[in-house]
Amino acid sequence: MKIVGIAACTAGIAHTYIAKEKLIQAGIDRGHDIHIETQGLAGTQDGLTQQQIDEADVVIIAADIKVNGRDRFKNKKIVEVPTGLVVKSPNKLVEKLEEVKA
């Protein structure tokens, strides 16, 4: 499965990057192709390409704040969760994404 998403927390520092790394590792561990962009005080990093978005089966938005560029995900299945949930249970979240895709 191909997963894309955005991680963003209120400070744009710790939880943003921890959530990104945990999501990527959980996705890879379950055999998925996953790309996560971050948004925060440092701006947007690892921005998603239109091709990655077009090919994605599901979009995860792990955010505690409003994220920019939501319009890019038109007609995609989107799952929204707080960053804290990703930090605590990344594997369960990826399992849930698999169910959404099915």
Residue 9 designated active-site = yes
For residue 55, which of 72, 68, 70, 71 has the smallest C-alpha distance?
A: 72
Catalytic residue among 3, 7, 9, 58: 9
- Using DSSP's 3-state secondary structure scheme, residue 49 falls into coil
Enzyme catalytic residues: 9
